Structure 1
Amino acid sequence: MKYGLMGVDFEDRVNYERLRKDRLEKARTQMIKDGLGADFDNIRYITGTTIGEWARNKMARYVILTAEGDPQLFDPATPSKRITSPWISDSVHPSVGSMRGAIPPEEGNVETVASEIKKVLEKYGAEKMPVGVDIMDVPLIRALEAENIEVVDGQQTMLDARMIKTPDEIELLKTAAAMVDATYSEIVRAIRPGMRENDLVAIANKCLYSMGSDLVECVNSVSGSRSQPHPHVFSDRMIRPGDMVYLDIMHSFNGYRTCYYRTFVCGHPTKAQEEAYNKAYQWLQASIKAVKPGATTADIAACWPTAQEIGLKDEKEAYLLQFGHGIGMSIWEKPVVSRLFMDKPFELKEGMVFALETYCPSADGKGGARIEDEVVVTKDGCEVITKFPAEELISCGLPGTKAFI
């Protein structure tokens, strides 16, 4: 994080006009390269607009991007967008779809949407080209096909367009990570006997929203016996002395995400807990050292133990434990790193941003260690942008421990 969070006149901070322009250009370039006539969704990336969590799962908002002309946004809040988003005010239209089937099919709304889409495609001469779609409900796909529109997978096009981050995107990712740094500072002070996993989730939400997060997408909070194996969800379990506690904080700042694990212990760790933590840390550091342009995802995955070494049946079971994934406007982007795909290596390039995460269960059955860092691929290596200390297992919550405050 180079400067502050706000836009100011005295420093060259994130330039949002440049950010919108660069993202649109990248999306259009990749779309033309892949031979598509239009691409749907990835709406914030293409248009620089959002409607927040209200739109989740409603499938009532979409964008049409063609080789020429401005993106055409269909949005339920059209009157507001014309005022608040002047860069797209002439290209925003009302959107009334099926609301995931809640509006009865006999109303014909889906067919109306398909007809609107076809008119836009015809306007720009793209009605006979394949239309790339990232996500869409089945009735609309069928309605488009009834209009003789060829629907193809557009996910790869947009993921490829988003894979190399611009300097503005990297700055936003660093800012999002800095907000989690601060959140962990509060969490480590809160861990103590009697605190519940969901209490830590509440603290994370309060801290992040107070700092300006636009979405706390998910907080995993896992302690004690629940950490073997990793359940990927928090509960109301009460933390007790001797418990290992790990969290994963996923939130968004101006659309840019984090995925960021840290592990702590309530009280003093056992020897087995320290050994587990040190193994997870060493595996993570080895994989970070492997990151550089020209290296591959297989080079990174080779630094991690096999599934059997951590007591699992196969690499499918270990898939989300020794793992890496691109991160940007979503938590799942290219590249993906796993021992499961070592036979299909993916080359690393400068400007990629991804998270690397490792896991090791404690041999005495008293918890597990989960650590994750986010890295930016630089011209000669990488930069770690997640800064909360991870060199050793931090003890907290009891008199005499490092974080007893």
Structure 2
Amino acid sequence: MTELSIFKDERKRVFLNANGADKPLKSPLSLDVLDRARDYRLGRLRAEMARQDVAGLLLYDPVNIRYAFDCSNMSIWTAHNPIRYALILANGPGIMFEFKGCEHLNDGLPGIDEIRTAIGWMFMCAGDQAGARLAPWADEISDLLRQYGGGNMRLGVDRMEPEGVHALTQRGVQILDGGQITETARAIKSADEVALMRWTIRVCEAGMARIYEHSVPGVTERELWAHLHFENARSGGEWLETKLLTCGPNTNPWYKECSDRECQPGEMISFDTDMIGPYGYCADLSRSWTCGYTPMNDTQKRLYSAARDQIDHNLALLQPGLSFAEFNAKSWRIPDAYVPYRYSLAAHGVGMADEWPVIPLHPDFDGAHGGHIEENMVICIESLIGEAGSESIKLETQVLVTPDGPQRLDQFPWEF
């Protein structure tokens, strides 16, 4: 493949591979960075387990398993088929219960002390034997808690079918919301995590540059979206959480998924990457530009300018110690004409996926959860601007919170 020749913005070309568009990006990070991040993440979980006084933490969510042990196996499939799980014992080992035949995928991972074969008791794989498989599963989990818990039978669980909760409860296990543990632990990033995330963002920006280069009249929304999949997959990434790329009238109202609609000259192309990339980290970035690289019309310029104002204003607020309520009180006020077409969030956490905290946009803030912006959180600042009869402008940037102010992790250019 030769390098494409119609690139209209040299600022964006730099995000493609320096060797041209024919090779995947290769991470410059050493294994030491990954090993330190693994150790830090498992330490964060164990510290939060101790703070919440649980004897064990049972994880089925593949993102939480990746965070804890850095092991990955059929993540999308296991996200809706609870067939593999991890158990971290507060005063004992970290055990990975792996899908039968896949145990070798965990070889050499430093956080895993023991590998066992998972017991799958969901109906899809167990059928009328589900109840028979449930009992030994519950016995194994409860016996491990008794062995290492010192009388503490409190177990954090991130997600569980009701049959599992009932079976463990019958065996004296007290089930708590493991999401409070995992979300709190994941919220604060180490320098090594940030380095891994920066690389995922670099790969994402190469995919965004590829979308830009192909943003010509007649291309379909799905064809454009495929370029991000392509760049992510060939550079060692995982998956895209959504399909949010639309053009022209499909951009408003927001949340339509990409379709076979062909983009027309001068229409806005707006997208939100939601990309789970290399090392399992998320690049959650949004941009908007015109099809065919035409100058924006007056309405497009006005909406885009408002979106930039919202991003810049709210970005500047991010300081350690600022409460979510204070952020809301000081946040950019969306003009009335744009309110019916607004995005629901002003900001949210991000790590291996979108994470806690979630800060609603000011019209929707009543009833939002409490908390504070903390140093070394990574926060996405969001904007969606549209009005009656217009297209929507979607912008989003990913930011590290530092004592010296917010530090953007993405560099892909705005249009102005």
TM bin (shorter chain): 0.7 to 0.9
| One-letter amino acid matched to 1:44 | R
| One-letter amino acid matched to 2:320 | P
> 2:189, 2:377 within 8 Å by CA — same for their partners in 1?
yes
> 1:78, 1:93 within 8 Å by CA — same for their partners in 2?
no
1:45 aligns with 2:45: no
Residues in 2 aligned to 1:231 and 1:83: alpha-carbon distance in whole angstroms: 37
Matches within 5 A, 1:337-348: 337-339=360-362, 340-341=364-365, 345-348=370-373
Residues in 2 aligned to 1:229 and 1:127: alpha-carbon distance in whole angstroms: 54
1:282 to 293, 309, 312: 309
Superposed displacement of residue 14, structure 1: 5.3
Superposed displacement of residue 346, structure 1: 2.6
Superposed displacement of residue 145, structure 1: 1.4
1:323-357 C-alpha deviation (Å, 9 max, x unpaired): 21100112233253532336755311110001111
Question: Which residue in the other structure is 2:269 paired with?
Answer: 245
Matches within 5 A, 1:283-302: 283-301=310-328, 302=330
Residues in 2 aligned to 1:189 and 1:279: alpha-carbon distance in whole angstroms: 25
Cα distance change, pair 86–168 in 1 and its aligned pair in 2 (3 A): closer
| One-letter amino acid matched to 1:32 | A
Superposed displacement of residue 300, structure 1: 3.6
Which secondary structure does the structure 2 equivalent of 1:40 belong to?
strand
Question: Which residue in the other structure is 1:354 paired with?
Answer: 379
Question: Which residue in the other structure is 2:202 paired with?
Answer: 178
> 1:30, 1:157 within 8 Å by CA — same for their partners in 2?
yes
1:31 aligns with 2:31: no
Which secondary structure does the structure 2 equivalent of 1:254 belong to?
helix
Identity %: 24
Segment drifting more, 348-357 vs 323-332:
323-332
Question: Which residue in the other structure is 1:330 paired with?
Answer: 353
Residues in 2 aligned to 1:19 and 1:157: alpha-carbon distance in whole angstroms: 18
Segment drifting more, 211-220 vs 337-346:
337-346
TM-score by length of 1: 0.87
Matches within 5 A, 1:182-197: 182-197=206-221
Residues in 2 aligned to 1:257 and 1:263: alpha-carbon distance in whole angstroms: 20
Residues in 1 aligned to 2:120 and 2:336: alpha-carbon distance in whole angstroms: 48
Residues in 2 aligned to 1:228 and 1:322: alpha-carbon distance in whole angstroms: 17
Question: Which residue in the other structure is 1:372 paired with?
Answer: 396
TM-score by length of 2: 0.85
Q: Give the alignment's Cα RMSD to 1 decimal.
A: 2.5
Matches within 5 A, 1:5-404: 5-8=27-30, 15-41=33-59, 42-53=64-75, 54-77=77-100, 80-81=103-104, 84-87=107-110, 90-99=113-122, 101-107=124-130, 108-125=132-149, 128-251=152-275, 252-266=277-291, 267-301=294-328, 302-306=330-334, 308-312=336-340, 318=342, 320-339=343-362, 340-341=364-365, 345-362=370-387, 365-392=389-416
Residues in 1 aligned to 2:178 and 2:112: alpha-carbon distance in whole angstroms: 25
5+ long unaligned stretches in structure 1: 393-405
Residues in 2 aligned to 1:149 and 1:105: alpha-carbon distance in whole angstroms: 25
Which secondary structure does the structure 1 equivalent of 2:110 belong to?
helix
Corresponding residue pairs, total: 381
Residues in 2 aligned to 1:135 and 1:211: alpha-carbon distance in whole angstroms: 31
Residues in 2 aligned to 1:85 and 1:336: alpha-carbon distance in whole angstroms: 39
